Amino acid sequence: MGKILVIGASGQLGSELVGGLCNFYGKDNVIASDIHESGDFDCAYELVNALDPVRLENVIKEYDIDEVYHLAAILSAKAESNPLASWDLNMDSLLIVLEMGRRKIVKKIYWPSSIAVFGPSTPRISTPQYTVMDPNTVYGISKLAGERWCEYYNQKHGVDVRSLRYPGLIGYKHAPGGGTTDYAVDIYFHAVKGKPFECFLSPETELPMMYMDDAVKATIDVMQAMADQVKIRSSYNLSAFSVTPESMCDSIKKMEPDFSISYKPDFRQKIADSWPVSIDDRQARKDWGWKPRFDLEKMTGAMLDSLHAKLNTSD
Ligand code: SER
């Protein structure tokens, strides 16, 4: 097979997905890229600005790339502080990669979508695959438009593009990076350092979440599926479990009894309130066999163990 290029590899998802791809395909077959001079990866690394089609095409040709995982994006909360630049990055970079698919420069494309495609008029419990979508964040609007472009390029030009609507993703390798669901990452970073945590969402705000290992597995699974199994070419609903800050705190306290939390909701509360509480992902389960492995308790154990180990080695 040809090689795999990950764009936006140093971000929250990329920093875990690159490792997963290296384990699955071998590190000689994976090239990480981002806008930083260098990256901390076991595989090759290239500086690539996702908005530079010439540089991107050169790297694709140099390494004989078949598959692109295009992860570069500005997340929901951060995008609100710079809407137009965020729109440009989130949209233009996707169109650059889809065009490479249309021109047959790459054979397969992965692009992440999000629960942010839903909005205040969407049914919030067990949100269906097909439903009202009225996102009210720049990030959500760009993800919904991106989904439509993915399906368009698939139907009009036969581009093999695949996508998942991730819930909030929780992993230990990367510090939180501007998302509304990021309290659920930050809370664990505070817990292992023995620090109290001030949450920017209210205690009862329930959102769908997923442990990073499951997200990496889902991503590799949907990319591994036969093309005719991947019936949805906009983006698949994907679910693991739903949590509130309060239930997450309770779960942490079982292992870190002294952990304490306080609440100070800010502008991110309104974003969270417009997103689903739970997701119906039956189509992903049916089409390509999706099944999560981590629930809240299992994830809390994994997060605290991994973060303690990380903290000890950095001491
Ligand atoms: N986790 C993302 C965010 O909060 C949503 O996909 O922005």
Whole-prediction pTM: 0.96
Q: Which of 80, 81, 181, 219 to mutate to test the pocket of ligand 1 (most atoms within 8 A of CB)?
A: 181
Does any domain span residue 45? yes
Range of the domain at 196: 171-208+240-280+293-314
Nearest-CA residue for ligand 1 atom 1 is 168
Phi, psi (degrees; rounded to nearest 5) at 27: -70, -20
Sign of CA dihedral 289, 20, 175, 165: negative
Residue 274 Cβ contacting ligand 1 at under 6 Å: no
3-state secondary structure labels for all residues of 135-172: CCCHHHHHHHHHHHHHHHHHHHHCCEEECEEECEEECC
Are residues 186 and 120 both part of a single domain?
A: no
Sign of CA dihedral 101, 105, 110, 113: negative
Q: Which of 74, 76, 169, 268 to mutate to test the pocket of ligand 1 (most atoms within 8 A of CB)?
A: 76
Q: Which of 117, 139, 269, 270 to mutate to test the pocket of ligand 1 (most atoms within 8 A of CB)?
A: 139
C-alpha 128 – ligand 1 centre gap (Å): 19
d(C-alpha 153, C-alpha 176), whole Å: 32
C-alpha 257 – ligand 1 centre gap (Å): 29
Are residues 159 and 18 both part of a single domain?
A: yes
Nearest-CA residue for ligand 1 atom 3 is 179
- What percent of the chain is modeled with pLDDT above 90? 95
Cα dist from 86 to 26, 99, 120, whole Å = 33, 20, 22
Residue among 169, 147, 123 nearest 20 (CA): 169
Does any domain span residue 287? no
Confidence at residue 2, expressed as pLDDT on a 0 to 100 scale = 86
pLDDT in tens, 89-116: 999 999 999 999 999 999 999 999 999 9
Are residues 230 and 89 both part of a single domain?
A: yes
Does any domain span residue 186? yes
Does any domain span residue 288? no
C-alpha 149 – ligand 1 centre gap (Å): 20
Residue 177 above 90 pLDDT?
no
Are residues 162 and 184 both part of a single domain?
A: no
- What percent of the chain is modeled with pLDDT above 70? 99
Does any domain span residue 187? yes
pLDDT in tens, 252-268: 999 999 999 999 999 99
3-state SS class at 49: coil
3-state secondary structure labels for all residues of 272-307: HHCCCCCECCHHHHHHHCCCCCCCHHHHHHHHHHHH
Q: How many CA atoms lie within 13 A of 149 on its CB side?
A: 23
Placement of tokens 């959102």 in the chain: 207
Are residues 139 and 184 both part of a single domain?
A: no
Are residues 184 and 73 both part of a single domain?
A: no
Neighbouring C-beta atoms of residue 179, cutoff 10 Å: 23
What H or E segment, with its residue span, contains residue 25? helix 14-25
Residue 181 Cβ contacting ligand 1 at under 6 Å: yes
Q: Which two tokens stand for residue 22?
A: 């290296």
C-alpha 28 – ligand 1 centre gap (Å): 31
C-alpha 116 – ligand 1 centre gap (Å): 7
CATH number at residue 133: 3.40.50.720
Q: Indicate if 139 belongs to the active site.
A: yes
pLDDT in tens, 27-80: 999 999 999 998 899 999 999 999 999 999 999 999 999 999 999 999 999 999
How far is C-alpha 48 from the geometric centre of its chain's CA atoms?
19
Domain count, the chain: 2
Least confident of 126-130, 176-180, 182-186, 283-287: 176-180
Are residues 184 and 106 both part of a single domain?
A: no
